[in-house]
Amino acid sequence: MATKPSPNPDQRLVRVFDTERESEAMVVRGLLESESIDCEIRALDAPQEVLPIGGTVILVREEDAPRALQIIEEYRRTPAEELEDENAPEVTEEPPTGE
């Protein structure tokens, strides 16, 4: 199985996603690669005495960042939110009745 090449290290890379769960980073990486956006995953290992966190970031070429961010935003929207948006009643102001 051939792997896709990572972005060229000489190109400017920008962070488009970060998470504490590597599994989530893998899902996002798959989404980006399915849209032909090359990405690089890097682990963030901060010293525990400084910041008690670790995590994973996804980097893409600067020119791919806007599309990558759009894909990630669509991924973050849950099906419940999408259904809610579709079924939301339109709000119209009605004049008060003089009762």
Q: What is the CA radius of gyration of the chain?
A: 20
pLDDT for residue 54 is more than 70: no
pLDDT at 2: 46
Number of domains in the chain: 1
Torsion sign across C-alpha atoms 24, 31, 71, 45: positive
Query: Which strand (E) or helix (H) includes residue 28?
Result: helix 22-34
Kindly provide the residue ranges of all beta strands, DSSP E only, lying in the chain, ordered along the sequence. 13-19, 39-45, 54-61
The answer to whether position 83 is within a domain reads no
Which of 30 and 51 is assigned the larger pLDDT?
Answer: 30
Tell whether the model's pLDDT for residue 35 goes beyond 90.
yes
- Domain with 56, as residue range(s), is 13-76
Question: Is residue 27, in this structure, part of any structural domain at all?
Answer: yes
Contacts of 47 (CB under 8 A, 6+ apart): none
